[in-house]
């Protein structure tokens, strides 16, 4: 298995909802990442997990809460989001420097 999968593909949520984005890889990669990408902009790093421990948190608001239950799974818990949080959320994993990206979750916050 040489891919990163993300679910759901699309998510529409209200500002009071709680939802989670999921990411999975079975390539034995020990680093996993969350990025946020707005339309026509480059991806922006949000969080990095290395060996299941949070190693980088790019001053992301607390309404985004990452979780790494094991070496294959990465979650992003969402609560009380704002409409400006609407974006493509990309997950990636890496063994070395090359990062493998999932297809992303298109999030719309109403």
Partner 1 sequence: SQQGEEDPQALSIQEGENATMNCSYKTSINNLQWYRQNSGRGLVHLILIRSNEREKHSGRLRVTLDTSKKSSSLLITASRAADTASYFCATSFNNDMRFGAGTRLTVKP
Binding of partner 1 at residue 55 (CB under 8 A)? Answer: yes
Residue 18 interacting with partner 1 (CB under 8 A): no
Q: If we measure between CA atoms, which residue out of 106, 76, 102, 74 comes closest to residue 3? A: 102
3-state secondary structure of 36: strand
- Nearest distance in Å: CB 42, partner 1: 4
Contact 107, 11 (CB under 8 A): yes
Contact at 8 Å (CB) between 10 and 66?
Answer: no
Residue from 45, 60, 73, 80 in contact with partner 1 (CB under 8 A):
45
**Any alpha helices (H) in 1-110, and if so which ranges?**
none
Return the residue of 81, 90, 107, 109 that touches partner 1, per CB under 8 A.
90
Task: Please report, as ranges, the residues that interact with partner 1 according to CB under 8 A.
Answer: 4, 31, 33, 41-45, 48, 50, 55-56, 58, 88, 90, 92, 94, 97-104, 106
């Amino acid at each position: 298995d040489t891919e990163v999968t993300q679910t759901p593909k699309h998510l529409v949520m209200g500002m009071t909802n709680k939802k989670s984005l999921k990411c999975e890889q079975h390539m034995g990669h020990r680093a996993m990442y969350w990025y946020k990408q707005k339309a026509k902009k480059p991806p922006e790093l949000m969080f990095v997990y290395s060996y299941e421990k949070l190693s980088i948190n790019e001053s992301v608001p607390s309404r985004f809460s990452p979780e790494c239950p094991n070496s294959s799974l990465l979650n992003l818990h969402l609560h009380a989001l704002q409409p400006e949080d609407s974006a493509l959320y990309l997950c990636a994993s890496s063994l070395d420097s090359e990062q493998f990206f999932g297809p992303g979750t298109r999030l719309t916050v109403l």
